[in-house]
Structure 1
Amino acid sequence: ANSESKAQSGPFAPLAGSWSGAGTVTLDDGSTERIRCRARYAPIGPTMEMSLTCASDAYKFNLGANVRAEGGAVAGSWSEASRNISGSLQGRGAGGNYELVASTAGFNANISLKTSGNKQSVTMRADSQFRGANISLSR
């Protein structure tokens, strides 16, 4: 089987491909910025590489992650290139809908991913660095 058909049968298959959209990010001081975002998901069997890049005039983040699904559990690692931080990622979910926690020293972010066909919403809540983000993507 070629890699396309493999991608379509794995647990992350509903996410596969490139997505783009916009949203808002809430910064430490409580101000909000409009952001434009691009996401790319590359599932291979039970694993997936993903990237999410968002930018506004004053703010940017570039999140990358490698995750693996086993049953309903998801675990892996993430990194953020512009701040040079990385950590662990874990959570639960299936079928394009996931509840994840990204952790590193002194920082936890809750990430909720909801996918319905060609629409996706990404919601992040954090206790430092930034307060959160709400992003709507489509492909």
Structure 2
Amino acid sequence: MRPDAQAMNIDMNCASDSYRVHVLTQLTADGTGFSGAWQETTRQAEGTVTGRLSKSGDMTADLQAIGVSIRLSARADGRRQAIRLQVQGTDVQDVVIDLQR
């Protein structure tokens, strides 16, 4: 890691009465790029992540694991946040989250 690189760990839980997802992510950011590893503990899945932040604040990331690849894109502007997951290798293929104030 370069001396000016920044590290970030994410611990995310999402659960309902019938579903649970627990994701741990360790990232290193260097300029506008970032990379690292992720793990989903309830399904014992793990892989790598690489991504980039644009000057406008948009983010794209590619998550890879054995048999699964995910393209994540996120955009925030003023009163709106939009997140899209395009998935290959699972029964879920496209997730869109659009939040507005």
Fold equivalence (TM over 0.5): yes
Size of the aligned set, in residue pairs, is: 94
Structure 2 partner of 1:131:
93
- More displaced stretch, 57-66 vs 120-129: 57-66
**Can you give the 5+ residue segments of structure 1 that lack an aligned partner in the other structure?**
1-44
Identity %: 23
Which of these residues, 76, 84, 94, is aligned with residue 115 of structure 1?
76
**In 1, Cα distance between equivalents of 2:28 and 2:54:** 12
Structure 1 partner of 2:66:
105
Match runs of 1:47-58 below 5 Å: 47-56=7-16, 58=18
Higher RCO, 1 vs 2 (CA within 8 Å, ≥6 residues apart): 1
**In 2, Cα distance between equivalents of 1:120 and 1:128:** 26
TM-score when scaled to structure 1?
Answer: 0.55
**In 2, Cα distance between equivalents of 1:97 and 1:110:** 13
CA RMSD of aligned residues (A): 2.6
**In 2, Cα distance between equivalents of 1:94 and 1:48:** 18
How far off is 1:56 after superposition?
Answer: 4.9
**In 2, Cα distance between equivalents of 1:79 and 1:90:** 14
The 1:74–1:58 alpha-carbon spacing in structure 2 relative to 1, beyond 3 Å, is same
Which of these residues, 13, 20, 35, is aligned with residue 60 of structure 1?
20
**In 1, Cα distance between equivalents of 2:79 and 2:12:** 16
- More displaced stretch, 45-54 vs 80-89: 45-54
| One-letter amino acid of the counterpart of residue 67, structure 1 | L
Structure 2 partner of 1:77:
37
